Amino acid sequence: MAKDKNIYVCNACGGTSSKWLGKCPDCGAWNSLQESVATDTGAPNKNRFQGLATPQPVASLSSIEASDFARLATTIDELDRVLGGGLVDGGVVLIGGDPGIGKSTLLLQALHTLSLQNKTLYVSGEESGAQIAMRARRLGLDQTQVRVLAEISLERIIATVQAEQPRVCVIDSIQTIYSEALTSAPGSVAQVRECAAHLTRLAKSTGVTVILVGHVTKEGTLAGPRVLEHMVDTVLYFEGDTHSSFRLVRAIKNRFGAVNEIGVFAMTERGLKGVANPSAIFLNQHPQPVPGSCVLITLEGTRPMLVEIQALVDAGGPSPRRLSVGLERDRLAMLLAVSHRHAGVSCGDQDVFVNAVGGVRITEPAADLAVLLAIQSSLRAKPLPKGFVAFGEVGLAGEIRPAPRGQERLKEAAKLGFELAIVPKANAPKKSDPQFKGLTIHAVDRVEEALSWVRTL
């Protein structure tokens, strides 16, 4: 038997060291090493590979029947959509998000609908049974059959799950659970990693679907980030502004479905309600067009959504500021440079602020054109015409590159009654298509062309 040995694991890169160091020798991060138990059994035993284990049969891929996973729908449509159709038996789902965003609320609602047909277990390390009951009452689920366990010991949780054999088990949250095998405190990377590994093994060996709740740290990553994401099958993140009532649930990783799919919810007095048609919720309704506003058609997973992009350009001090909310700031600096260099639109001595309305976070480059048009509109103090939409990626050479699934974006805009669209040339529909009825489409392939055309409107 190899003796139990503790190692130190970097919570940034997962690198290991036999003693504690201030700086990770692998990735150079400071103060990132955390105690963990060594999983290695010591020096390799030669005999391990010599005739002790029997060889296993190997099959050719074509001879294996591909069967789709049986899905257990939660009947919360927006949640099923991000899960790729529902939960999978033995699957492990990690749901991350800021405190107070609605993780516990959503999972309690989901467990309630699941408990009508299946056995479920809600393990809470954060709240007592009475607190959960109070939440259930608030959600109008007084008669719910969801079974609750308030416990933080991993060993006791696993024993209970094995005895209860629920179909779905929620662990709220993984950061509060601790294993007796480790000396470090609950929430430390070593504990989170150890507990998640045991719960994953439990899911795979018993077929229980395990849903782990994870808190996000100040830096915006799940505590013990990389290690957890690798272990589980599906990673969902809650996004959104706690000040607005809308919440997005986004799939970051999904072994059983598409990634980048989103579910849209609204937080109401009685819990989270799915928003079936999210297209128009991020649009600010101005009675008259205002300067500095441009509607973007963005694509989230398979869904087109219309989002208002706002810009404000104002005289700045000696070192003008560039700030963005919901959009990437580096990309903003790049767009300002492109518009100056290629289109002669200069904001050099001005403060520039941009914002994606409604607390959405837009990462796709197809937002570039709308950002530039909003900035130009604010700079000139001239609004864009009513019913105007845009999308397209801007390159460093001043070219406008196509965005994926342009036709679907245009279809959504036409459906919502938009009248004028500016799009990359490669995304323009070939002929006048009845699907885009009422929408005039103007195709451009250079930044200067786009900005000067808009000035003529």
Nearer to Mg ion, 36 or 144 (CB): 144
When binding is defined by CB under 6 A, the residue of 81, 103, 331, 411 that contacts ligand TYD is 103
Site string for ligand TYD, 224-263 (x = CB under 6 A): ----------------------------------------
Please, are residues 45 and 76 in contact by the beta-carbon 8 Å criterion? no
With CB under 5 A as the rule, give the number of residues binding Mg ion: 1
| Adjacency order of strands within the sheet including 120-124 | 147-150, 120-124, 168-172, 209-215, 92-97, 234-239, 246-254, 262-268, 271-274
Contact between 105 and ligand TYD (CB under 6 A)?
yes
User: How buried is residue 420: exposed, middle or buried, by Cβ count under 10 Å (0-12/13-18/19+)?
Assistant: middle
When binding is defined by CB under 6 A, the residue of 201, 230, 270, 386 that contacts ligand TYD is 270
- The whole-angstrom separation of Cα 188 and Cα 267 is 31
Q: Where are the beta strands (DSSP E) in 66-119?
A: 71-72, 87-88, 92-97
Nearer to ligand TYD, 141 or 354 (CB): 141
Nearer to ligand TYD, 242 or 277 (CB): 242
Among Mg ion, ligand TYD, none, partner that 382 touches (CB below 5 to 8 angstroms by kind): none
Contact between 104 and Mg ion (CB under 5 A)?
yes
Among ligand TYD, Mg ion, none, partner that 270 touches (CB below 5 to 8 angstroms by kind): ligand TYD
Instruction: Provide the angle, in degrees to the nearest 10, between the axes of the packed helices 154-164 and 189-206.
Output: 10
When binding is defined by CB under 6 A, the residue of 22, 100, 317, 434 that contacts ligand TYD is 100
- The whole-angstrom separation of Cα 410 and Cα 418 is 9
Nearest of 213, 220, 219, 217 to residue 236 by alpha carbon: 213
When binding is defined by CB under 6 A, the residue of 182, 251, 267, 451 that contacts ligand TYD is 267
What helix, strand, coil percent values describe the chain, rounded to 5? Answer: 30, 30, 45
Q: Three-state DSSP class for 162?
A: helix
Contact between 175 and Mg ion (CB under 5 A)?
no
Contact between 137 and ligand TYD (CB under 6 A)?
no
Of 114-133, which residues contact ligand TYD (CB under 6 A)? none
As measured in angstroms, the least distance from the Cβ of 104 to ligand TYD is: 3
Nearer to Mg ion, 104 or 179 (CB): 104
